[in-house]
Structure 1
Amino acid sequence: MQSLRKNFHLINQLATGLFMIEASYAEPYMPLVYKLLAGESVEMDEENTQPVCYAINMAADGGIVRYESFDQAEPGSIAVLPIKGPIMKQDYCGSPGTQSMKAWLKMADEHPNISGHVLDISTGGGAVDGTFEFRQVIENSKKPVVAFGDGLIASSGYVLASAAAHIMMSNETAQIGSIGTAISFRDSSEADAKYGIKTHYIRATNSHQKNEDGLQAQKGNYKPIQEHVLDPTNDIFINAVRQSRAGKLKESEPLKGKTAGEPLNGQMYLAKQAIALGLADSIGTLEDAIALAQQLANNSQTKNSSHTNNNSMPKFKAAMTAIGAFLGLSATADNQEMTQEQVEQLNNELSRLQSANDSLTTAQAGFQTQINQLTQDLATANTNLTTANASLTTAQAQAAEWKTKAETYGAQPGATPTNPVKANEELESGNESDPGKVIANLPHNKKLDSNPLFN
Structure 2
Amino acid sequence: MLRTLWCIEPIWAEQHLPLVQSFLSGQFPIQTNEDDETQTQDPIAGKTFAIAAQSGSNYAVQNRYALDDPELPDNSVYVLDMRGVVVKESNCCSIGTEEYARLIRQAYAHEKIIGCVGLVDSPGGQLSGTPTLYDVIRDPIKPFVVVVNEGLMASAAYWYSCGADYIYASQQTDQIGSIGVYIEFDDATEAREKMGIKRHTIYSDRSSQKNRPFRDAKEGKTELIREDLNQAADLFRAAVEQGRGKRLKVAKKGGPDVFEGGLFYAGKAIELGLIDGYGNLETAIAKVAELASKPKGEAVEELPDDHDETGDNTPEVVDLPDNDDSDEPTASVEPTTSQSNLISTTMSLFGNPHKVLSGLAGVEGSKITNEQLNAANAELDAEKITGVRVISTTYLEQAKQSIAALNQKNAEVETLTKERDDARAEAAKFGSQPGAQPTKSEKVEEKITTVEKDTYISQTDADLAAMKAQMQ
CA shift digits 1:296-323 (9 cap, x unpaired): 112342699x9xxxxxxxxxxxxxxxxx
1:50 to 32, 43, 61: 43
Contact 1:177 1:267 (C-alpha < 8 Å) held by counterparts: yes
CA shift digits 1:320-379 (9 cap, x unpaired): xxxxxxxxxxxxxxxxxxxxxxxxxxxxxxxxxxxxxxxxxxxxxxxxxxxxxxxxxxxx
| Alignment CA distance shift 1:175-1:218 (3 Å) | same
| Alignment CA distance shift 1:190-1:47 (3 Å) | farther
CA shift digits 1:68-88 (9 cap, x unpaired): 312332110100111111101
- Counterpart Cα distance in 1 of 2:109 and 2:29: 39
Give 2:121's aligned amino acid: S
Q: TM-score, normalised by structure 1?
A: 0.59
Partner in structure 1 of residue 174 of structure 2: 174
1:284 to 279, 283, 289: 279
Partner in structure 1 of residue 127 of structure 2: 128
Question: Taking CA–CA contacts closer than 8 Å with sequence separation of 6 or more, which of the two structures ends up with the larger relative contact order?
Answer: 2
Following superposition, the deviation at residue 25 of structure 1 comes to 2.0
| Alignment CA distance shift 1:165-1:38 (3 Å) | same
- Counterpart Cα distance in 1 of 2:42 and 2:192: 39
Partner in structure 2 of residue 70 of structure 1: 67
Pairing 1:30–2:17 present: yes
CA shift digits 1:32-57 (9 cap, x unpaired): 22133334444378656532221011
| Alignment CA distance shift 1:158-1:254 (3 Å) | farther
Following superposition, the deviation at residue 61 of structure 1 comes to 4.2
Q: How does 1:355-394 map to 2 (within 5 A)?
A: none
Partner in structure 2 of residue 217 of structure 1: 217
Consecutive unaligned residues in structure 2, runs of 5 or more: 33-38, 299-341, 345-472
Residue 187 of structure 1 aligns to a residue in which SS?
coil
- Counterpart Cα distance in 1 of 2:143 and 2:31: 36
Residue 245 of structure 2 aligns to a residue in which SS?
coil
Following superposition, the deviation at residue 230 of structure 1 comes to 0.7
Number of residue pairs the alignment of both structures matches: 287
- Counterpart Cα distance in 2 of 1:174 and 1:188: 37
Pairing 1:20–2:7 present: yes
Task: Choose 1 or 2 for highest CA Rg.
Answer: 1
- 4+ aligned runs moved over 6 Å, structure 1: none
Partner in structure 2 of residue 264 of structure 1: 259
Following superposition, the deviation at residue 284 of structure 1 comes to 1.2
CA shift digits 1:187-221 (9 cap, x unpaired): 21222111111111111111011111111112222
Following superposition, the deviation at residue 117 of structure 1 comes to 0.5
Partner in structure 2 of residue 234 of structure 1: 233
Partner in structure 2 of residue 187 of structure 1: 187
Give 1:62's aligned amino acid: S
CA shift digits 1:143-164 (9 cap, x unpaired): 1000111121100101111000
Consecutive unaligned residues in structure 1, runs of 5 or more: 1-13, 307-455
CA shift digits 1:88-137 (9 cap, x unpaired): 10113421111111111111111111001101111010011010011111
Give 1:135's aligned amino acid: Y
Partner in structure 2 of residue 249 of structure 1: 248
Q: TM-score, normalised by structure 2?
A: 0.57
- Counterpart Cα distance in 1 of 2:293 and 2:76: 11
| Alignment CA distance shift 1:231-1:195 (3 Å) | same
Same amino acid, percent of matched pairs:
33
Give 1:25's aligned amino acid: W
Pairing 1:274–2:269 present: yes
Give 1:38's aligned amino acid: S
| Alignment CA distance shift 1:34-1:49 (3 Å) | farther
- Counterpart Cα distance in 2 of 1:88 and 1:44: 22
| Alignment CA distance shift 1:261-1:237 (3 Å) | farther
| Alignment CA distance shift 1:60-1:289 (3 Å) | closer
| Alignment CA distance shift 1:185-1:288 (3 Å) | same
Following superposition, the deviation at residue 31 of structure 1 comes to 1.7
Following superposition, the deviation at residue 263 of structure 1 comes to 1.1
